[in-house]
Each structure stands twice: as structure tokens, then as C-alpha cells.
Structure 1
Amino acid sequence: MTAVAGGIGPADLLAVDRLRERLAAEARRVQRDDLIRLLDDLPALDEAGSMRVVVVGETKRGKSMLLNTLIGRPHLSPVGVDVTTSCWMEVAYGEREEAEVAIANPASPGEPIRRLCELHEVERYVALAEVTEPVIGVQVRVPSPVLRGLTIVDTPGVGGLEAGHSRTTLAVLRTADALLFVCDSKQPVSEPEIAFLAEAARRVPTVVVAVTKCDINPEFEEIVEATREIVAGTPGLESAPVLPVASPLADRATELADARRAQRMLEISGIPPLLDNLRRCSAAGAAAVRFENAARVLAEVCRALRGRSDKVLDLLEGNADRERDVQADIVALRKVLDDAPRLRVVVHQSLDRLHHEPAEAFDVAIEELRRRYHSLAEKGSAALLPNLASRLIGDMTAAAVAALAQTARHCTRIVADLMRQLGGADRWPVTSTTAPAGFAIGLEPPDPSTRQDGVDLPAAADLFTNLVQIFAGPIVASAAIGGPAAVAVSMVLAVGVGWVKAKSGAEQERRASLAAWVDDAAADARARFRREIDSRVREAERRVARVLPALVAAREAELTRLSDELRRVRSDAAEFGAALEERRAVAEGLRDVEREVGALVSRAQEVRRA
């Protein structure tokens, strides 16, 4: 057995397999088919998929030029002193050159209008000066060997790291395997840049820093070394590589007829080491995430099995109060199942506040933005006017992302409380937006017409995952951007269609148009958010009302099976002592497994931090 990338060795693989088999044996013994499904669905730790790298940087740092160089298409993403990327652009491997544009759909946020375009047309959709439509993102496919197994996402450059774009980027990083952060050789990495990097390192397993424009600064090595020291001294970034690059040198190397000179110039450009680091670090980070996910699932299964074992032992040793509680829970759960209309009413009442509370919070955030940007439009520096609308769109998007994510968290907490009130489970795992990338138990909800054995942990987790997706965006607006950011970007860009009209004319005319547009955009954003959140709450109510009865039935079945087991053991007085000792041995064995799983989780977290 060979080692896996990311510091994961054969001993780790063996430990996961051994613990999985031990837990599966116990799950089979107690007929917990739901836990067996969880264990069976664990992905192999040595599975390597396509790696996803998000490219981020302050404006004018050479980010788009670096992207073009990496994929061997010098003119793909717009580059220039007065050119700024206005939207997300994903570039991946394809057998032929093709591009698809995602445009915000005012009628349905999260379901964009899609339009095919030629590669030479991409600039008019992504360059701020050229944009005339609310473009969310562009997906590009090119037959570049570099992109085999690697997807690169370029982010909007408008507004820098202090604007709403950076907060949206942070939300999207949870779906990435690596962050390629771009700064330049004019000065060491700045405080805002390092603050962004530190926050990003909590969301993405791998960070690589590229220092660009090293071909135009003879003293670039001092800047690179200073940046290295700052990055290495920042918690969470100690092992992040900092690499000097010069994109123009790599581009020139492709034009040289002399192969040796071309190879030498390519080496000097720093592009090959950057690509090597991206691939190696991304693979290591993805492997570490898979390892941690596996350890978390083992821990969840172990907790469920140990909780059941301890309860059985407690009841057999004579805890009459607990046994009466079991019988009372069975009766209560059966009453819930026998009164389906009442259950639907309870679900509606529990989620009702979500129809208005998120919208009220969003209104407050948008009003603060409206006042600030209205004032800037009327009295701010003239230099701010060209990008003012895009900055507002970025900030409104960030406000919508935060509101949708918060609503998803509130919904899962409300439903978890409801389940506890109904006696639905000892522990309901919430797969939230704070979980590591990829930790989602994606099984289909149980069929309400059939009675499931056990608590059905996967189905419970799936319900919470689905609730998060209902509010945070189950549809990916573009492959580059998904989750709450997808819905938020679509929603906000749809209100921004009119801003392009304010880009021309005399200064006072532009100021008046911008100020009026800011007011209209804020009002439109509030109205759209209210409609969207209301629709999503209704969908959440339908989903919970459909799935909850099956989960309650699964809980009732588990408690009934537990009661039957107690009755069988007690019915044979001669064998009772042996049965009690057997279950004590099972409980002690599970405590040993729990300690091993705990050590595995710690090991996984250590690997991921490395």
C-alpha cells in the first residue's frame, strides 16, 4: 500500500479501513442499515479528482495576465492598465475551444440565462469597460495540457480586497482545493492582503502566493523575501509557498525559435515551479480534506453506536426511569405519526418567522449601503465614479450572501429543535456551510411510505444539507460560483442592469444618474430578496413536512426494536447474566473504538493543518 499525497501514509489508510470494518460489524449486529450506508459510501482516500484553484488578488496585480500565461492563452482574460475583470471566469480542459456566458435572470435568481460565445468574444463579457449586461461568469474550455486535472477560476478585480467582492470570494473558497493569491513585486504583501489570506486559509486547504512583475523590478528578490517572512509569520499560512513569477517572460519563451533559449526563459519566468507547487499542494490539500471527512464520518457513526450501546446497558442494569421514558417516547412518536395534518401545522409554525426576519435584516444592510453610495455618487471623488456601481453590486452581493447563509443556519437550528421536541433523534448531524468542503451526506430522503429501521442518520443529515441548499442555492449559477454566492450574485446583478447607462455623459449628469440608480437598485434588491426568501421558506416547509414523518418513523422503529431486545434478554433468566456481560463487553469495545477514532480525527486535523 503506497502513501497518499498530503502526508497521509499507509498506516492512516489501514486505520480508516480497520475502523470502518469494526463499526460496520456492530452496525450490522444491531440492524442499523443507515449507518452501514454511511460507511459504505465513504470515498477511497487515494481517489484523486480534478483540482480546483481560485485566483485572487488586488486590482492591477497582474492576476489576469498570470492566468493567461498559465493556460497558454495570452489574450483570453482582459489585460491592461485601465482594464479590470468584472465577473468570475472559470477555465478548464476541453477537447475544443468553447465558452459559455451566464447572465443574471431577473425572473429566477440561481437559474441564469446561458449563452455560447467564441473565445475572442470573452473580453466583452468580462472586461469592466465593455460590459453591457449583468454577467455572472464565463466558463471557458480550451485544449491546454496544463488544464488536465486542473480547473482555474479568475475572480472579479473590482473594488479590491476591502469590497464586497472579497467577502463573496471567501464564501466561494469552500468549494476550492487551493487559493492562488497574486501580489506584485512593487512592495511586500500589504496588511489588507495578509488579513484576507489569513481569513481564506480557514476556508481552503491550500494557499499558494505568486509575486508577479518580477521582470520589471531589479530588486524583486528583496520584496519576495519580505513577503515570505510576513506570510510565514501569519497563523495558518506558515507552510504557504511564496513564488516569484514573470508572466511576460513565459509568453516570450513561446515565441522563440531556439528551444534551449526558450526553455531557459521559461525557467527564469518561475511559471513551471508555480504550476508544480499548485498541483502538488492542491493534491495534498484535497487528500487531507478526504481524510478528515472520513474521520468525521467514522466519529459520527461511532457516537451513534456507542450511544445505543450505553442506553441498552443502562436499561439492562435496572434504570427503570429510562425504560419508562423509552415506552413514553414510543407512544408520543406514534401519536405524531397518526396526526399528519398537525405535524404540517407544527412545521409551518416553526419556520414561519423566516418569512420576515431575514428580509428585515437584509433591508437594514441595504439601507446602510444605499446612503453611503448615494452620497459617494453625489459628492465623492470623480475617480470613484467609473467603478462605483460595480462596488455597490459587490457590497450588495456580500450582504445577500451573508443573509442567505444566516437564514440557512437559522433554519437548520429551528428544524433540529423541532426534531428534538418530537423525540426525533439523540443526535442530528447538521451539515452546514461551516463544514469542510465535501462533507455532505448526499443520500435521497427516505420514502415516507416505508418504515426505515434505525434513526436513519444519512437521511437526517441529508435533510439538513437540503435545507442549507434551499436557502444557499442548490443551483450553480456558473461552475465558478455556487452556493449562496450564486443566488446572491444573480439576484443583485439582476437589479444592476441599468447601471451601464450611467457610465457615459458629463460628470454632473453621470452623478445624478448614478445617485438615482443607487436608490432604485437598493429598492429593487430589497423587493427581490423578499420574494426570493419567501419562496425558499415555502420550499423548506414542503421539504421538512415530506421528510420528517419518515425520520420520526425511523426513530419509533429504533426504540421499538430496543424495547423488544430488552424484553427478549429478560425473558430468559438463566441467560440474563451472560447477555449482560456480553453487552458490557460490546460497550467497552466501542469505547476503545471511540478513542481510536478520536485519535484519527486529531491526526486528520494535524495533516490538514500541515
Structure 2
Amino acid sequence: MSAAEGAVAELVVGAGKVLRAYGHHDIADRAERKLSAEERIRSVVVVGEIKRGKSTLVSALIGRDGAAVDDVENSTAISVRFVVADDEHPEGTADLVFPDGVRRIDRADLAEWATTGGRHVLDPTVEALPVAAIVPVASPRLTHASIVDTPGVGGLDPRHAGLAAQSAEQAAVLVMVCEASTPITEPEMTFLRENAAGVENVIVAVSKTDKATTRWREIVAENRKLISRHVGRDIPVVPVSSVRALAALESGLPEHLRERALNFSGLPALWAVLDTRLESADRSPADDALRTSLEGLRRVEQRIEDELNVVKEGEKAIPDLSAELDRLKGLKDEAQQWEQHLQRDLTLARQRASTRLDENLAEVRERWTTKINKSSLDVLRRSPQVFTAQIQSDLLGAMAATAECFLTDLERITTELFGDEERWEQIREIALLSMQTDPLVTGEVASKRQGLLDPSVLSMGMIGTTMLGAVIGVGAIAGVAWVAINLGFRAMRAGKTNLLTWLRETIATVRTATTRMLDGTLATTRPEIVLSRRRQLQERITDLQKQIEEAKRSAQADSAAREASITRLEKNLRITRAKITPIEEALAAGTGAAA
């Protein structure tokens, strides 16, 4: 744990002691969970046009020649995530992620599953292909962050940016690779300007400087000017020779000569920028934990101030307290009315989300129907994993947008009802958990399918995806899952008609799963909101009754007893404010983003 992380942890723990003393155990627990390292996923996502040296750069970043799938003749067809090896995930193995689970293979066989020319990819008897792979490597660099090598097929796919657009609990950096032989291309510039706009941390790595020894400095300078002019962002542009870096790492030279050669390659400079960006992205969990603690402490501060005012005012405070008590009792008695309004608002939110889903799915259906009709089957079959994974990504995006739409409305409804963001945090956690759906199975839809559909295969199960994670947060990825990838492979072999049928039925399955997710979330959150609102009213009524009794006692107490109560409350207020001030300062000073 770094000094900065230790300081934040100390602030959160200190705040937690005060919060627990006043009965706010849930807030203290939530702050500590947000700070937990288990919720943090640090990753470097490497993207680039085909033949830019992307996989070689991944190997250099890992520090092991040949770590990435690097095939001169063929391109990677799936995303490969490199993680540090351990007892559970030993080096020399690879986990292939299939629609129905994970299969472990020998690392030496990875290219046969992960490249466009792989033996299993081209085998017509193979029923299912992986959509991703996880490769453990014994590399010290992977203890800092996992590294994701995105598919080389199709060049810069906008979906790749989504891999790095992580939720607040994650830290990710997007590295776009371009060549040192020519200035940044228009597609690369478009990707940076449009598709990476939502990614906080982006780096441009100018590769193959060893092949452009006389021009790379000029190209790097030109790229910086072009990016500044056309993107309008301060994006680091770092030159690197992956070949020289790997040669230095494997050279066996004395350490000082090895370090000199490594520095000459530019790799240490790239890692330095990566480390800085990862640390910057890693601040979000600390900020969230500090803000949660701060919100709770301010609630405690308000409570103490109210109690202090009651003791000082005595009987003078009773009329105002009594009026507020009557108002809250009136709200409690009118529960049926506000519950009906709540039901109305939630129903409208559900309808808006459903409309958004229909619009997005219609767009996906139209786009892919057009693409299938315009493309020859030979083109589609050339990269089946990429084709089906792109459809899957679009459908997951539609589901994520639907979840985001509903959660946004739900936040507005609960915040207006409670006037308290902390209550929304509680409801949000419940809503996210309710978005986890059971597997959904569809059966045969028509005899003309000719065995295309296996009822046991087409399922929507739970799986973590960064697209939905960007909406609902790590640890609560839910309800949306794998499109029937293997059925897509079979459909491609059966002809366009079957492929279009597969697309139509898969979209219908997605709609069914998402609609069920919305209904389940609505059914779960409504009673929680109602019960939480009732508890809030009752807690406030109880507090006011206690304050009225305290005001009466204060009026009857002698001056010495009153002063003792004032002294005790003022001490507690000082303690609470002593916890608030450093948290406010930490947020304002940039331990994370400003509060």
C-alpha cells in the first residue's frame, strides 16, 4: 500500500469510528467496501490498426518475448487478457472463454483458437469458438495491471474503447498503437476524437522506431501537433521500439548495459507514463470512499448541531420541533398517496427504459441485416469470431443503455423522495443485485431451422462485461450476457437465410431477457423504496420526539447540567468536524477528483 493509499485508508477508518458510534454502520461499511482493493481492476487495453506491431508491443509491455499471440500471416481474432500467473492460473496455460463456460488449454495451442488462420477456427466440425482468452504469465509487470490485446481483425473498432471506459471502481488506460513510418492516419485520428472521447486515460504509442531511424522523431512531433489540433486533448505520444525492448530484455548483458539498451528502446518511458495514468485512474475508488464517509459525517454533524440547538434553546425550540413532527406524522399517515405516486413514477421509468431498448434493438437489427445482406458469406466466414462478437457487443450495448436509462430515472425518483443521496446508494445496490437474471433458454422456433437451434445452447446467462460494467459497476454485472455465439457460427455455415433468422431470434431473446431484468428490478426496488421511506419517516419522528423531550428536560435542568450537556455536544461536534476537514482537504487537493 502506498503512502497516499494509507492516508486515505486512515481517513476512512477514522470516519468509520464516528459513523458507527452514531449507528451509521451501513455507511461505514459502504465506504470501506469502495476502498477495498478487491473492487479495483487495473488494466491496460492495447488497440491499433492491423500490422502496427500491437501484439509485439504487448509482449514488450509484459516483458516476455512471444507472450502475445503474434502471427505474421494471421491476425488475432479475439481479445486476450494477460494476467499474472499464480497457483490457480499457472504459466503455460490459457483459459478460453466460451459462451457456456471456460475451458483450460495448453498455452502453446492458443494461436489455433485465437487467430484468423487457427486450425480450430477453420475446422468446420468445431461447433463453438471462444470469444476471449485469459493468459497467465509470470511477469512482475502484470502485478501492476493486466494487459489486454484486442483483436487485430477489423482494425480500430469503437468497441475497443469501451473496454477501457471502465466504471468508477476500475482503473484502465487505453493505448493506441500507430507506426513511426507515417503520421497518424485519418481512421486513427477519428478513433481518438470520437471513440476514445469517453476514456479518461489515453496514450498513443508510436511503434517500430527501429524501422524509421531517421524519421521517427519528426513523426512523433507531427503526431503531437495533429492530436492537439484535431482531438483537443492532452494525449501523451510515446515513441517505442518493441523489437529493441525485447532484445534488451533477452540479451543477457550486464545490468547497466541492459538498462541502457532498454532505455534506448523507449519502453521504460512508456511504462512510466502508463504507471502515472494508472495511478490517476486508480484514484476513483479512494474518492468514492472519501465522499461516502464525508456524506455520513455531515449527517452526524447535522444531528449533533440539532441536539446542541435544542439544549441551548430549551422550551423555545419546542414549537418548531412540534410543527415538524406534525408534518412528518402527516406524511406517514398519507402513505397510500405517496406510494401511488411512487408506483406511477416507477412505471413511467420502466416504460421509458423499454422504449429505449426497442429503439436500440431496432437499430442493431437494421444495421446487421444490411451488413449481412451486403456481405458475401466468404467475408463473414473469414472472421466468424469477430463478426459474432461485434453483434454481441452491440446487443450488450443496447442492454447497458436500457439499464442506464432505468437507473438514471430511479436515482431521480429516490433522491427527490428522500432528499438524501446516501439513501439512493442503498437502493442502487439493491437494484444492481436484482439485475442478475437466471439463464434464459429458447427452444425451436420453426422446423425450417434444420437443427440450427439447440434448445440447450441459446442462453442468456450472467457474465462480466466491461460495457455493462461501465453503467452499473464492477461486482454487480448482471442480467445481460452471451449471445448464442456458437449458433452464429453454425448459422454462417448454413447460409444467409439461417444467419438472418439467427440474428432475429437472438435479438428477440435479448429483448426478453432485458425486459425480464427490468421487471425484476422494478419488483425488487419498489418495496425497498417504500420500506426505506417508512423507516426514514419513523426514524425522523422518533428523533424529533427525543429532541422535544430533551428540550423539556433542558428547560427544567439547572445551569450546571445544561452547561455539561452543551460541553459534551460541542466536544462531539469538534471530533466530527476534525474528521470532516481532512477529508474535504484530501478531495480538494487531488487525492482524487474534486468533491
Question: Which TM-score bucket, shorter chain as reference?
Answer: 0.7 to 0.9
How far residue 140 of structure 1 moved from its aligned partner, in angstroms, is: 1.3
> Quick one: which amino acid aligns to residue 109 of structure 2?
E
Distance 1:139 1:293, change over 3 A: same
2:427 aligns with 463
2:325 aligns with 326
Q: What SS class does the counterpart of residue 79 from structure 1 fall into?
A: coil
The correspondence for 1:124, drawn from 112, 135, 148, is 112
Q: What SS class does the counterpart of residue 139 from structure 1 fall into?
A: strand
How far residue 427 of structure 1 moved from its aligned partner, in angstroms, is: 0.3
2:50 aligns with 59
Does the Cα contact within 8 Å between 2:180 and 2:219 map onto a contact in 1? yes
How far residue 314 of structure 1 moved from its aligned partner, in angstroms, is: 8.1
TM-score, normalised by the number of residues in structure 2: 0.73
1:440 aligns with none
The correspondence for 1:144, drawn from 139, 144, 152, is 139
2:60 aligns with 69
How far residue 57 of structure 1 moved from its aligned partner, in angstroms, is: 2.8
How far residue 572 of structure 1 moved from its aligned partner, in angstroms, is: 3.3
1:297 aligns with 292
Consecutive unaligned residues of structure 1, counting only runs of 5 or more, are 106-112, 430-456, 504-509
2:419 aligns with 426
1:156-185 CA deviation, whole Å, 9 max, x = no partner?
344444544444553579733433332222
| Superposition CA RMSD, Å | 4.8
The correspondence for 2:515, drawn from 530, 534, 540, is 534
How far residue 236 of structure 1 moved from its aligned partner, in angstroms, is: 8.6
How far residue 244 of structure 1 moved from its aligned partner, in angstroms, is: 1.5
Does the Cα contact within 8 Å between 1:172 and 1:481 map onto a contact in 2? no
The correspondence for 1:84, drawn from 75, 81, 84, is 75
Q: Distance in 1 between matches of 2:551 and 2:579?
A: 25
Q: Distance in 1 between matches of 2:35 and 2:385?
A: 45
1:368-394 CA deviation, whole Å, 9 max, x = no partner?
344344444444699965459835742
Q: Distance in 2 between matches of 1:244 and 1:228?
A: 11
Q: What SS class does the counterpart of residue 156 from structure 1 fall into?
A: coil
Q: Which moved more, 1:463-472 or 1:521-530?
A: 463-472
How far residue 64 of structure 1 moved from its aligned partner, in angstroms, is: 1.6
Distance 1:235 1:405, change over 3 A: same
Q: Distance in 2 between matches of 1:254 and 1:306?
A: 57
Q: Distance in 2 between matches of 1:19 and 1:389?
A: 45
1:370-449 alignment runs, 5 A limit: 370-379=365-374, 386=382, 390=386, 393-394=389-390, 397-411=393-407, 413-414=409-410, 417=413, 421=417, 425-429=418-422
1:510-537 CA deviation, whole Å, 9 max, x = no partner?
9xx34x3563243123212222113323
How far residue 464 of structure 1 moved from its aligned partner, in angstroms, is: 0.3
Distance 1:201 1:415, change over 3 A: closer
Q: Distance in 1 between matches of 2:148 and 2:593?
A: 23
1:200-243 CA deviation, whole Å, 9 max, x = no partner?
887666444321121222311111222334456788953x5432
2:474 aligns with none
* Alignment of 1:497 onto 2:490: no
How far residue 331 of structure 1 moved from its aligned partner, in angstroms, is: 6.2
Q: What SS class does the counterpart of residue 572 from structure 1 fall into?
A: helix
Distance 1:157 1:151, change over 3 A: same
1:249 aligns with 244
User: Percent identity, aligned pairs only?
Assistant: 20
Does the Cα contact within 8 Å between 1:165 and 1:395 map onto a contact in 2? no
Does the Cα contact within 8 Å between 2:357 and 2:402 map onto a contact in 1? no
Does the Cα contact within 8 Å between 1:185 and 1:211 map onto a contact in 2? yes
How far residue 28 of structure 1 moved from its aligned partner, in angstroms, is: 6.0
The correspondence for 1:363, drawn from 349, 358, 362, is 358
Does the Cα contact within 8 Å between 2:171 and 2:278 map onto a contact in 1? no
Distance 1:419 1:167, change over 3 A: closer
> Quick one: which amino acid aligns to residue 546 of structure 2?
D
TM-score, normalised by the number of residues in structure 1: 0.71
How far residue 365 of structure 1 moved from its aligned partner, in angstroms, is: 2.9
How far residue 119 of structure 1 moved from its aligned partner, in angstroms, is: 0.5
How far residue 91 of structure 1 moved from its aligned partner, in angstroms, is: 1.0
Does the Cα contact within 8 Å between 1:20 and 1:298 map onto a contact in 2? no
* Alignment of 1:4 onto 2:9: no
Q: Distance in 1 between matches of 2:541 and 2:133?
A: 52
How far residue 115 of structure 1 moved from its aligned partner, in angstroms, is: 0.9
Higher relative contact order (CA 8 A, sep 6+): 1
Q: Which moved more, 1:559-568 or 1:47-56?
A: 47-56
Q: Distance in 1 between matches of 2:169 and 2:227?
A: 21
2:444 aligns with none
Q: Distance in 2 between matches of 1:232 and 1:379?
A: 37
Does the Cα contact within 8 Å between 2:244 and 2:262 map onto a contact in 1? yes
Q: Distance in 1 between matches of 2:180 and 2:186?
A: 15
Does the Cα contact within 8 Å between 1:76 and 1:122 map onto a contact in 2? no
Consecutive unaligned residues of structure 2, counting only runs of 5 or more, are 439-460, 472-476
Q: Distance in 2 between matches of 1:24 and 1:145?
A: 37
Q: Distance in 1 between matches of 2:197 and 2:546?
A: 47
1:69-126 CA deviation, whole Å, 9 max, x = no partner?
3335544533345533332221111143222111124xxxxxxx11111111222332
2:102 aligns with 114
2:500 aligns with 519
Q: Which moved more, 1:179-188 or 1:301-310?
A: 301-310
Q: Distance in 1 between matches of 2:296 and 2:340?
A: 32
